[in-house]
Amino acid sequence: MTSFLSDQNKMLANPIFNPQGDDRIENRSIWFGKTTNLMQLNDVRYSWAIGLYQQMRENFWIPQKLDLTQDVTDYWNLTAEERYAYDGILSYLTFLDSVQTCNIPHLKSCVTAPEVSLCMAEQISQEGMHNQSYQYIIETVIPSDRRSTVYDFWRTDKVLADRCQFIAGLYQKYIDHPTAENYFTALLADYLLEGIYFYNGFIYFYNLASRMLMPGSADIFKMINRDELSHVRLYQKLIPEARQLFIHSVDQIYEMFDTAVQHEVKWTNHIVGDHILGVTEGSTEQYTKYLANLRLKAIGLEPLYPQEKYQKSPYRHLERFSDTKKEGHTKANFFEAGVTSYVMSSGIGGWDEI
Ligand SMILES: [Fe+2]
Ligand SMILES: [Fe+2]
């Protein structure tokens, strides 16, 4: 891929205000533009960003309005393995949303199209709120003497600790050495996190809900799921643009995807394994490779795993729980009409296949 940049180029954060900037849309670009840093949104070059921002805002929800009463008693009806996985997945997802809240401002700081910056500002807000929703679950469902162990799980679980360090490391590398090359890697790492790392966790909660267990938790995760898919859409727009500007190779992208899949499968097998009804090591591998193929296709690349079985999800029967289908999102929640009765959104299309 050709580029006008070398990997020696430093990514510079935009000045807070640049009176010499040029906000005309014909001179606007997502990176390396010369913005005044005014949110000049009257004329926009990337109109998809305005539509996406609107959808993200329409996804508005408040965790505390979702009812966890049944989950408090269900928690003790889980098997020991199910409870272990419940706590461990919560811990992992808390880590993911923590690093997103921390890292997105770094990626955003050199974006020179205000309409794209607007979407990233909303993303940061949502990631922060996701952390608050985990706190709400932990405080409501998990007994007080076990709550800190959810946050501290990585201190004693080596698989999680290694995973956290790897994910954080790619972001940290850019912060320590803000080259264009490291920026592209961090952007891709972001897409992998948004597009692959959450979903075996979501599936675990939908699986419990399909067995009439922990319905409030699943309600919260379907809202987070919907938010995350809007973030996936954002990076599906950004990465093809970035590929025009940053030096990289397709091999690098495939290598990062393959590593991401291996880490995700290893972690899920570690925390969920083969002991829980509805999830096997085989279904985890199939689902993760299917997701990787889907995410690659969305940025214009061929599947990394071309075998037939990796072209479809093994969890289609759980989709009705995910709230990501156009037909499904206005339906009632799993067992009552709680969620839908306050969801304000009416403009969301199907998030599936993005
Ligand atoms: Fe999030
Ligand atoms: Fe996200």
Could you please report the per-residue DSSP string of 76-116? Answer: GGS-HHHHHHHHHHHHHHHHHHHHHHHHHHHHHTTB--HHH
Mean pLDDT value across residues 52-64? 95
Q: Hey, which residues does 111 pair with through a beta bridge?
A: 31
Q: Could you give the 3-state DSSP secondary structure of residue 179? A: strand
Minimum-distance ligand to the CA of 123? 2
Minimum-distance ligand to the CA of 96? 1
* Structure confidence at residue 323 (pLDDT): 61
What residues form the annotated binding site? 97, 127, 130, 194, 228, 231
Residue whose entry in the numeric block shows the structure tokens 């399909």: 210
Mean pLDDT for the chain overall: 90
Distance separating alpha carbons of residues 333 and 101, to the nearest angstrom: 28
Instruction: Evaluate the CA torsion angle 261, 171, 90, 126 in order and state its sign.
Output: negative
Minimum-distance ligand to the CA of 194? 2
337 is written with which tokens?
Answer: 């009409």
Q: Could you give the 3-state DSSP secondary structure of residue 10? A: strand
Distance separating alpha carbons of residues 284 and 278, to the nearest angstrom: 10
Where does residue 37 fall: left (phi above 0), alpha (psi -120 to 50 degrees), or beta otherwise? left
134 catalytic per annotation: yes
* Structure confidence at residue 322 (pLDDT): 74
CB crowding 55-92: b at 16 or more within 10 Å, else e: bbeebebebeebbbeebeebbeebeeebebbbbbbbbb
Is residue 123's pLDDT more than 90?
yes
- Domain positions in the chain are 67-336
User: Are 150 and 90 spatial neighbours (Cβ–Cβ below 8 Å)?
Assistant: yes
Identify the helix (H) or strand (E) that includes residue 23.
none
Task: Give ion ligand 2 contacts, CB < 5 A.
Answer: 194, 228, 231
45 alpha carbon – ligand 1 mean position (Å) = 27
* Structure confidence at residue 324 (pLDDT): 58
Distance separating alpha carbons of residues 61 and 343, to the nearest angstrom: 7
21 alpha carbon – ligand 2 mean position (Å) = 30
185 is written with which tokens?
Answer: 């890697």
Is residue 191's pLDDT more than 50?
yes
229 alpha carbon – ligand 1 mean position (Å) = 9
Longest CA pairwise span in the chain (Å): 64
334 alpha carbon – ligand 2 mean position (Å) = 24
Residue whose entry in the numeric block shows the structure tokens 């996804």: 59
Report CA-CA distances (Å) from 122 to 60, 196, 234, 329, 334. Answer: 11, 21, 11, 21, 28
What residues form the annotated binding site for Fe cation? 97, 127, 130, 194, 228, 231
pLDDT digit string (tens) for 273-294?
887 889 999 999 999 999 999 9
92 alpha carbon – ligand 2 mean position (Å) = 14
pLDDT digit string (tens) for 226-281?
999 999 999 999 999 999 999 999 999 999 999 999 999 999 999 998 878 899 99
Question: Considering 53, 134, 174, 183, which one is annotated as catalytic?
Answer: 134
Is residue 341's pLDDT more than 60?
no
Minimum-distance ligand to the CA of 229? 2
CATH assignment of 67-336, among 2.40.10.120, 1.10.620.20, 3.30.470.20, 2.70.70.10: 1.10.620.20
User: Are 74 and 213 spatial neighbours (Cβ–Cβ below 8 Å)?
Assistant: yes
Residue whose entry in the numeric block shows the structure tokens 């969801």: 343
Compute the C-alpha angle 283/305/182, nearest 5°: 105
* Structure confidence at residue 45 (pLDDT): 96
* Structure confidence at residue 276 (pLDDT): 87
Residue whose entry in the numeric block shows the structure tokens 């940053």: 246
Distance separating alpha carbons of residues 215 and 163, to the nearest angstrom: 28
CB crowding 276-314: b at 16 or more within 10 Å, else e: bebbbeebbbbbbbbbbbbbbebbebeebbeeeebeebb
134 alpha carbon – ligand 2 mean position (Å) = 14
Q: Hey, which residues does 179 pair with through a beta bridge?
A: 10
